[in-house]
Amino acid sequence: MSVRITIDGKEYKAGDGATLVDVAADNGVYIPTLCYKRGKPCLGTCRTCSVRVNGNVMAACTVPVADGMEVEVNEPEVANMRKMLVELLFSEGNHNCPSCEKSGRCELQAVGYELEMMVSRFPYRFPVRPREHAAKHIWLERDRCIFCQRCVQFIRDRETGQKIFSIDHRGSHASIEIDVKLADRMPPEQVREAARLCPVGCILEKGVGYDQPIGKRKFEIKSIRERALERERQ
């Protein structure tokens, strides 16, 4: 069954129950996301896709569309709220893009560009989170983690289904952890998958770095907005 919704005053048809963030993208309306990955279950952790639905602010990745729904995406106040959330993510970690292996391929950086972020309006916290390098093939740059939980939920031991990554503690003490024994059993393609899935430069494959020349990196070839609207896997 199809339903009618409006986004920024324009009417669209959509499948009943489809996810709002996907419906918007399918109709050419970009809503930034960081934890959400099309085709995978919603995590709802980063809130970067916040929009107004019938007057209430909600994360668009968590909202199934329903008939008559009125959505505001580019209304200035709600757009500014999304920008603020992204600025907060920058100020809560240590992000020195020019020296980061993920630069040009980083979803946080790419979303920052899309939202025309120049600098965070929040004070930088400069957290001290020691790097983790005990695993044979994985290096964790913990202070770049945005706690999206992609690695926690989607990267599991292939034999047992156990989680390889976890988040310890909460709030400003939160820290991404890795089960070194399980990590050392990951086949090379799973290590690469984990590094690709991490939206920032926190999960890195050892022995690989700066392997794509500037100008040829993913989001330099095609922006995160274009990729989202073309339904490409990011």
Instruction: Summarize as ranges the residues that interact with ligand SF4 (CB under 6 A).
Output: 95-97, 100, 102-103, 106, 108-109, 144-151, 165, 176, 198-203
3 or 140, CB closer to ligand SF4? 140
Closest to ligand SF4 by CB, 55 vs 98, is 98
Query: b vs e for 168-187, b when ≥16 Cβ sit within 10 Å of the residue's Cβ?
Result: eeeeeeebbbbeeebbeebe
Nearer to ligand SF4, 18 or 84 (CB): 84
- State the minimum distance, in angstroms, from the CB of residue 110 to ligand SF4: 8
**Cβ of residue 97: shortest distance to ligand SF4, in angstroms?**
3
Alpha helices in the chain (DSSP H): 20-26, 76-92, 107-114, 150-154, 180-183, 188-197, 218-221, 224-229
- Cβ atoms of 9 and 25 within 8 Å: the answer is no
Handedness of CA 28, 86, 38, 18 (dihedral sign): negative
Nearer to ligand SF4, 29 or 152 (CB): 152
Find the shortest distance in angstroms from Cβ 57 to ligand SF4.
23
CB of 233 to ligand SF4, least distance (A): 15
Q: Which residue's CB is nearer to ligand SF4, number 23 or number 142?
A: 142
CB of 149 to ligand SF4, least distance (A): 5
How does strand 70-72 pair with strand 50-53?
antiparallel
Residues 6 or more apart whose Cβ sits within 8 Å of residue 197: 37, 150, 151, 154, 155, 203
Comparing CB distances to ligand SF4, the nearer of 18 and 117 is 117
The angle at the Cα of 108, spanning 60 to 155, to the nearest 5 degrees, equals: 80
Nearest distance from C-beta of residue 2 to ligand SF4, angstroms? 35
